[in-house]
Amino acid sequence: MLLHLFFSLSVFLTLIDNGNAGITSSFIRNERPSVDIPLENDVFAVPKGYNAPQQVHITQGDYEGKAVLISWVTPDKPGPSQVRYGLSEGKYEFTVEGSFTNYTFYNYKSGYIHKCFLDGLQYDTKYYYEIGNGDSARNFWFETPPKVDPDASYKFGIIGDLGQTYNSLSTLQHYMNSGAKSVLFVGDLSYADRYKYHDVGVRWDSWGRFVEQSAAYQPWMWSAGNHEIEYMPFMGEVTMFKSYLYRYPTPYKASNSTSPLWYSIRRASAHIIVLSTYSPFVKYTPQWKWLREEWKNIDREKTPWLIVLIHVPIYNSNVAHFMEGESMRSVFEGWFIEHKVDVIFAGHVHAYERSYRVSNIHYNISSGDPYPVLDKAAPVYITVGDGGNQEGLASRFRDPQPDYSAFREASFGHSTLDIKNRTHAFYHWNRNDDGKKVKIDSFVLHNQYWGRNYQRRKFNKNRLHSVILNRASTAQL
Ligand SMILES: [Fe+2]
């Protein structure tokens, strides 16, 4: 009963929100310098003990959520690639052997990067694990997701463009208090490419130690951004995504992908597709072919929620990076609508923005109809590239606010998507507010597959008269 009342209240609030045209938040934040935290700060502390494992992070290891991929770095010598794990703390009944590798980047030589695959796990279970030996051994835990099921509830966090500033720390700490169970990361991890020479690798290491406080305990699902490209010919480094691919493995083979940069997983009641903005994606490329096949594997009877992660937003009205997502829109938008994607999360723009359900699939170079229309079969597009990196905020939005833009604010923060069942999910964007966690943009996301029939309506080109007239139906995002 209480839950029902909460749903009703949330829907009512959504009605009110969407009865207006798009909102540009008037919130004025205090500018704090967007500088990286000094290396000697405790957030980057090297764990005690000779050659102790550091930069520990986990991600989903298979397609269904019954495996975990654990990765860490040992700085001085390889040491064991072994993970000991079990169902109670300190009692490790299972042992798995992994492997290690390392790489160089100009004159930087990485530590030994270990990777260990734990499979055959039980759903919805807490596991404890230990890595390293003797005085250098370290202990962590993680929880597996519920069985893939259409009504499995599950709370995701969404973080993008995080970096390693004090704002990044604020975002991370607020996220860790959100109760979310895993992170959907929308690209641009460490911003180590803002450094040169040896310091690039050093800042990848510090970022690994920085996010360990969360990423060692719950899976972060990775996608790559432009700051992972690291094409630096002046240093002789021209292999794209080198540091990222060595350090942040993904379970791409489980979804028949041929590249760690694009893949999919199923987790609880969600099917999550990760795409790579900076890999070829036009027709006939490997990524395009993989996605064409992957649509066939999606079963909304089992995983009602269909989520796509990309780095560059498709509908975004910030001055920064405006239209950079247009090439991917022209290739993939038709599929997003045909397959009823629920929500697309992106980063790249360092400000928050949410779209209405819109599409522009009628536009082609001869139709003469280039204006996006409200489209109930289309995804909601959310930009959450506001993790807090050293480049600072993208504080200038285009004026007037385009009709497709529902809410936008230039502040740091993170989002959560709290899936309740096959039909409803609660979404929140949380502004950091310079130290305090504040919930700002919230709505009830209605599932595209299990929701109502769709109707297509055209925008009034100047204002959202159609939205106002049809506010009841538009509200049900
Ligand atoms: Fe970016």
Rg (CA), the chain: 22
pLDDT of residue 365: 80
For ligand 1, the distance from its centroid to the CA atom of residue 187, given in whole angstroms, is 7
Q: What is the pLDDT of residues 29-42, one digit of tens each?
A: 656 568 999 999 99
Longest CA span, the chain: 70
pLDDT of residue 435: 60
- The span from the CA of 314 to the CA of 343, in Å, is 12
Please report which confidence band the pLDDT of residue 159 belongs to, taking 50, 70 and 90 as the band edges: very high
Q: If DSSP states are collapsed to H, E and C, what string results for 284-297? A: CCHHHHHHHHHHHH
- Mean pLDDT of all residues in 312-337: 97
- The span from the CA of 296 to the CA of 279, in Å, is 22
pLDDT of residue 363: 84
Query: Does residue 428 have an active-site annotation?
Result: no
For ligand 1, the distance from its centroid to the CA atom of residue 131, given in whole angstroms, is 33
Q: Which of 198, 321, 362, 428 is catalytic?
A: 321
- Mean pLDDT of all residues in 405-418: 96
CB 459 within 8 A of CB 372: yes
- Tell me which of 34 and 67 has the higher pLDDT: 67
Q: What is the pLDDT of residues 342-365, one digit of tens each?
A: 999 999 999 999 999 999 998 888
pLDDT of residue 25: 85
pLDDT of residue 474 exceeding 80: no
Which residues have beta carbons under 5 A from ligand 1 (an ion)?
Answer: 188, 225-226, 348
For ligand 1, the distance from its centroid to the CA atom of residue 346, given in whole angstroms, is 9
pLDDT of residue 461: 42
pLDDT of residue 456 exceeding 90: no
Q: What is the pLDDT of residues 307-321, one digit of tens each?
A: 999 999 999 999 999
pLDDT of residue 22: 87
Strand partners, 184: 158, 221
pLDDT of residue 131 exceeding 70: yes
Q: If DSSP states are collapsed to H, E and C, what string results for 46-106? A: CCCCCCCCEEEEEEECCCCCCCEEEEEEECCCCCCCEEEEECECCECCEEEECEEECCEEC
Place of tokens 């001869």: 366
